[in-house]
Amino acid sequence: KNEEIRVLMKRFKWRLVALYCYSFGCLGIALASLGPALPHIAKKTNSSLRQAGTIFTARSAGYASGSVIGGIATSNNKTKDHGNLLICTCMVAVAIGTICAPFFNQIWILGGFICLQGVAMGVLDTAGNLLILHLITSINLNTPQQDTKSQSEPYLQSLHFVFALGAVAAPVIVGVFLGAQRFPINPLIPPFGIIGGLCIPAAIFAYILPSPPSPSKNDFEREERKKTEKLNFGGGNSQNPTVDMEMHPLFLSEPKSNLSESRRRNSERKLRFPEVKDGFSEAKEGFSESKEGFSKAKEGFSE
């Protein structure tokens, strides 16, 4: 099963990486779009800038709650292997929140709506980071965990790099339409519509592509066990190989009675070892006497 998952994730690796990076780019654009639009939001809702600024507090509260919800959802046994559906749902929510934001005329309704959008953003942030880790881990199950973490670092950095690019692009997109002053309608509708439309392709591809599974600790232990068996029986340089001979496939064909007989013979050899040792001692004493006899014969020959 692990090998099938590894092959599947290798096949869709770069498509999934592109999906998560694009999703984080859209997240950065949507997150930074409210700042340059704040004066127009205040004018639209007939409120001061101070009152309009409460929407940032509402979104931050929603973002924090969404991060907690995303952590729970990605660790739950029923939803942890369906992360891409979570990404799809969040991208749809972010798109709807961005497109509908210019149509609200009351600041408290807009604040509640932006808070819900912040929940989707928090879930997306948490789920995206975890899914990229699950993807790299699923491909590299046969490597140690610490090596897998080091291999996933460039992909995590790319997520946040694209997020920063999106945050830089958002004021440009919004500023182009706000500075034109050519629209008879609300000038926030075109830029927010474009930003919301950018989120739709991410939702579509997240629904189509397979989700990286959540690898458990048992998967790593199983792979380590396989590597240990190959090392102990494949000519490895293990210093202290500990092997259960009765359970290894090389010895399964031999009856246990033969193993018992072999152990009995080894025990008998160990019991006979003191007798052999005594025999060597007697032979050594005889050799010493023979040596003394040769010395005496040599002295007689000299005389």
Q: pLDDT of 247-296, one tens digit each? A: 444 444 444 455 566 666 666 655 555 555 666 677 677 767 766 777 77
Identify the three-state secondary structure at position 59. Answer: helix
What is the pTM (predicted TM-score) of this model? 0.68
Q: pLDDT of 133-181, one tens digit each? A: 888 888 876 655 555 667 788 899 999 999 999 999 999 999 888 876 5
Q: Mean pLDDT of all residues in the chain?
A: 79
Per-residue confidence band for 228, with pLDDT thresholds at 50, 70 and 90: low
Give which of 256, 230, 254 is closest to 241, Cα–Cα: 230
The pLDDT of residue 276 is: 52
Per-residue confidence band for 216, with pLDDT thresholds at 50, 70 and 90: low
98, 102, 107, 109: CA torsion to nearest 10:
-60
The pLDDT of residue 119 is: 96
The pLDDT > 70 percentage for the chain reads: 70
The pLDDT of residue 258 is: 52
Vertex 187 angle, CA 182 and 192, to 5°: 135
**Higher-confidence position of 103 and 232:** 103
Instruction: Look up residue 178 and give its two tokens.
Output: 């706000």
The pLDDT of residue 31 is: 93
Tell me the C-alpha distance between 135 and 170, whole Å. Answer: 29
Give which of 128, 126, 115, 120 is closest to 34, Cα–Cα: 115
Per-residue confidence band for 125, with pLDDT thresholds at 50, 70 and 90: very high
Per-residue confidence band for 82, with pLDDT thresholds at 50, 70 and 90: confident
- Whether the pLDDT of residue 113 is over 70: the answer is yes
Give which of 95, 133, 126 is closest to 17, Cα–Cα: 133
Domains and CATH numbers, the chain: 13-217 (1.20.1250.20)
Tell me the C-alpha distance between 27 and 164, whole Å. Answer: 10
Instruction: Look up residue 111 and give its two tokens.
Output: 């604040």
Other Cβ atoms less than 10 A from the Cβ of 229: the count is 15
Q: What mean pLDDT is predicted for residues 36-44? A: 90
What is the total residue count of the chain? 303
The pLDDT of residue 163 is: 96
- Whether the pLDDT of residue 235 is over 60: the answer is no
